[in-house]
Amino acid sequence: MKTKSEAHFATQAIHAGYKVKQGQGSLTPPIHISSTYAFDTVEQGADAFQGENDRFIYARLGSPSQQILEQRLSLLEQAEAALATASGMGAISATMWSLVKPGDEIIADLSLYGCTFSYLEHGLKSFGVKITYLNLSNPKNLTDHISEQTKLVYSETPSNPNMRLIDIKALSEITNQYDCKLMIDNTYCTPYLQNPLVLGADLVVHSATKYLGGHGDLIAGFVAGSQDDIDHIRMFGLKDMTGAVISGFDVSLLLRGLKTLHVRMDRHCENAKKVADFLHQSSYVKNTFYPGLENFPQRTLAAKQMRNTGGMIAFELNANREQSAQFVNNLKMILCAVSLGDAETLIQHPASMTHSTYTEEELLAHLISPTLIRLSVGLEHVEDIIADLNQAFQSVFSASADDFPDKGLAISA
Ligand code: 4LM
């Protein structure tokens, strides 16, 4: 048997960071809910505050069960260290607030999760940080713009909701020439499918609410990177600025979710490929965006940096916005909900929901189509997922099926 640090992903997802003797033999690590930790003496407390011993101090700085989680997450992302937070937004905001100051520039990709966009646009910008949005799918756009003022380059890949990829290695070769960090949101892929740090990024963030938890019963996030960066984010962005601390109960749920991540992701990918093929072949669908499709424009990049093509699909119907909403409303098993990565297949209309933080003009400028539909393919039997999509197509389009004989016949929105 290999040692823990050399073990395969599945083994680390189940064992890393915890030995049963730490928990008096309990298979499941104990939940620590204590808010504070007692010292033997004032001197011992003083040393703890100076980082001169490894005593726990107060739960805003960590707890024994959080430490297990963080060790496991750092191994899965092949990072020196990780910091768990109360939400994905907690990880993103604690990290950015720790790394930039007024006058600095953040360059972000055009297409971002709605609340990340809102945080940059309405949060950091109003504190004097310059925010520039570029199409980072073309690394030349970064080369042409980056300067000494740029301290952070930020992107999701694939992007939420429109599935654009960015080349992590190519961007890191550019940021490495500056005093600038590359930060990647790896929520859509999880560390099972993609490791941004291995590809050259400096920091990776996640909404652990999604695939990592996997059961729609917690909100959490994490950031991983070098020990120095994580120490700084913990002691400043988390402790003093956001206070976005993960609860002991959510630590436990997340550790449970991680144990099955690899098995669930394999099935998410398998189901999503079949659903994407179905959508691609349907005459009711104008465009299907999924990295596993033959006609996906960035298929080569997907094969280079992702180990599989994931469970998220975006598509546009040969229909206007009203008919697209009607299609979603006619689904019977598939649930109309935000969030993603759960066992249940979830569908939503980004322009109305997750990305309603963008104005109509901003949606277009940021390459987010107002008629785009986002599908998080779940773990139900794939034939039932496809049957539900099919019956919703029939109920919306059957009366006018003859109007949609060919792919590519778009009715303008
Ligand atoms: C959603 N997303 O898309 P918390 N990064 C990415 C995300 O998709 C999200 C977050 C960060 C959705 C939530 C309603 C790529 C969230 C933020 O929700 O704060 O854990 O993660 O449906």
Region 42-61: mean pLDDT is 97
Sign of the alpha-carbon torsion through 89, 91, 96, 98 = positive
Q: What is the pLDDT of residue 403?
A: 46
Alpha carbon distance 334, 378 (integer Å): 9
Q: Which fold has domain 262-403?
A: Aspartate Aminotransferase, domain 1 (3.90.1150)
Sign of the alpha-carbon torsion through 181, 182, 186, 188 = positive
Report the residue count for the chain: 413
60 included as an active-site residue: yes
Q: Using an 8 Å Cβ cutoff, are 344 and 216 in contact?
A: yes
**Pocket flag, ligand 1, residue 63 (CB < 6 Å):** no
Alpha carbon distance 261, 242 (integer Å): 28
**Is the pLDDT reported for residue 331 higher than 90?**
yes
Q: What is the pLDDT of residue 408?
A: 36
Q: How far is the CA of 386 from the centre of ligand 1 (A)?
A: 25
384-396: pLDDT as tens digits = 999 999 999 999 9
Residue 51 region by backbone torsions, left for phi larger than 0, else alpha for psi between -120 and 50, else beta? left
Q: What is the pLDDT of residue 405?
A: 41
Q: What is the pLDDT of residue 398?
A: 84
Of 185, 202, 229, 388, the active-site residue reads: 185
The CA dihedral of 140, 141, 144, 149, to the nearest 10 degrees, is -130
Determine the 3-state secondary structure of 270 from DSSP: helix
Q: What is the pLDDT of residue 6?
A: 79
Alpha carbon distance 208, 128 (integer Å): 29
Query: Domain boundaries in the chain?
Result: 9-258, 262-403
333-386: pLDDT as tens digits = 999 999 999 999 999 999 999 999 999 999 999 999 999 999 999 999 999 999
Q: What is the pLDDT of residue 2?
A: 43
Q: What is the pLDDT of residue 409?
A: 32
Place of tokens 């005593």: 55
**Pocket flag, ligand 1, residue 161 (CB < 6 Å):** no
Strand 335-336 relative to strand 312-317, pairing? unpaired
Q: Which CATH architecture has domain 9-258?
A: 3-Layer(aba) Sandwich (3.40)
Q: Which of 200, 224, 266 is nearest to 77 (CA)?
A: 224
The percent of residues above 70 in pLDDT, for the chain, comes to 95
Q: Which residues pair with 109 in a beta bridge?
A: 134
Q: What is the pLDDT of residue 411?
A: 29
Q: What is the pLDDT of residue 5?
A: 57
Q: What is the pLDDT of residue 283?
A: 96
Alpha carbon distance 400, 413 (integer Å): 17
Eight-state DSSP code of residue 388: H
Region 324-331: mean pLDDT is 97
290 included as an active-site residue: no
Within a 13 Å sphere around the CA of 332, how many CA atoms are in the beta-carbon half? 10
Alpha carbon distance 280, 243 (integer Å): 44
**Cis before 158 (ω within 30):** yes
As given in the structure block, the two tokens for residue 104 are: 């600095």
Cα 300 off chain centre by: 21
* DSSP string for residues in 292-335: TSTT-TTHHHHHHH-SS--SEEEEEESS-HHHHHHHHHT-SSSE
Q: What is the pLDDT of residue 400?
A: 53
151 included as an active-site residue: no
Pocket probe mutation, ligand 1, options 189, 209, 217, max atoms within 8 Å of Cβ: 209
Q: Using an 8 Å Cβ cutoff, are 220 and 87 in contact?
A: yes
**Is the pLDDT reported for residue 404 higher than 70?**
no
**Pocket flag, ligand 1, residue 338 (CB < 6 Å):** yes
153-191: pLDDT as tens digits = 999 999 999 999 999 999 999 999 999 999 999 999 999
* DSSP string for residues in 172-198: HHHHTTTT-EEEEE-TTTHHHH--TTT
Q: HEC states along 20-81?
A: HHHHCCCCCCCCCCCCECCCCCHHHHHHHHCCCCCCCCECCCCCHHHHHHHHHHHHHCCCCE
**Is the pLDDT reported for residue 111 higher than 70?**
yes
**Pocket flag, ligand 1, residue 378 (CB < 6 Å):** no
Region 288-313: mean pLDDT is 98
User: What's the pTM?
Assistant: 0.95
234-276: pLDDT as tens digits = 999 999 999 999 999 999 999 999 999 999 999 999 999 999 9
113 included as an active-site residue: yes
Contacts of 147 (CB under 8 A, 6+ apart): 105, 178
* Sheet hosting strand 373-376, strand order edge to edge: 285-289, 312-317, 373-376, 346-348, 335-336
> Do 9-258 and 262-403 show the same overall fold?
no
* Sheet hosting strand 181-185, strand order edge to edge: 81-85, 221-225, 203-207, 181-185, 150-156, 105-109, 130-134
**Is the pLDDT reported for residue 89 higher than 70?**
yes
**Pocket flag, ligand 1, residue 292 (CB < 6 Å):** no
Alpha carbon distance 10, 5 (integer Å): 12
